[in-house]
Amino acid sequence: MKIRFLGHAGFIIEDRFKISIDPYDITTEEKMDFIFITHAHYDHCSPEDIARLADPGKTVIIAPTDCLEKVATLGVRTVEVKPGREYDPG
């Protein structure tokens, strides 16, 4: 497994899947399998940065409802995050 710090609060984790957590002010345009957003503050849920990493038809965004509303136009599958819920990427 590789874990890369993107700066601020963002990370990319690579193993079987590429997962980005809270991408903000990023320089990479690598496409992710999953993008996990912890909350809707602008420096955690940045629609511009998320769009750089999202691949329509492939990427799944897992985030709270208020963040999902901000990225609804990206054409990717979304999953609403809820406390205590587990997610199996398959």
The sign one gets for the Cα dihedral 21, 86, 68, 55 is positive
Kindly indicate the confidence band of residue 7, based on its pLDDT and cuts at 50, 70 and 90: confident
Interval 10-16 mean pLDDT = 94
Judge contact between 36 and 17, C-beta under 8 A: no
How far is Cα of residue 15 from the mean position of the Cα atoms in its chain?
16
Interval 11-30 mean pLDDT = 93
pLDDT at 88: 80
Residue 89 belongs to some domain of the structure: no
Residue 88 belongs to some domain of the structure: no
Residues spanned by the domain of 55: 2-80
Whole-model pTM above 0.85?
A: yes
Domain count, the chain: 1
Q: Is the pLDDT of residue 46 over 80?
A: yes
Task: For residue 34, give the CATH number of its domain.
Answer: 3.60.15.10
Interval 51-79 mean pLDDT = 93
Closest CA relative to residue 36, chosen from 1, 64, 58, 55: 64
